[in-house]
Structure 1
Amino acid sequence: IAAAQVGRHADGRETYGHSLVVDPWGEILLDMGGDEPGLAFCDIDLARIAEVRAQVPSLANRRKIPKSD
């Protein structure tokens, strides 16, 4: 899930939106576009995510990074 603002802000900067929901294989499930603010809903298949995590166990490779003083 990649949330993004769209529009012109009080300080003059402009943001371009295109909030996305993308499945683990890169298929775009939702693209809000970049024209105007909006609200959308998207179903997320948790069983599909578990299936992909079993096929590509990248989280098994994570490690703790010690805090520096």
Structure 2
Amino acid sequence: MKKHIKPAREGLNVRKPDGLHLSPAGETTTVTAFWLRRQAQGDVVITTIQPATENTLAESRPARLVKEK
């Protein structure tokens, strides 16, 4: 499951599993045991991803009728 993960405090450098630093604004990534441990230690905050657009129902057109002979 993908979630938004960001450092818990301003100026805190948190390493990702690949060794690179997590962006200060946070990144969307898959939640793994690694990130759950970082969250338990208070190093990161994990939040749900907000959908970019609202889901709306598409307009439906009436079905085409077959012409009678």
TM-score range, shorter chain: under 0.3
TM-score under structure 1 length normalisation: 0.21
TM-score under structure 2 length normalisation: 0.21
Higher normalized contact order (CA 8 Å, seq sep 6+, divided by chain length): 2
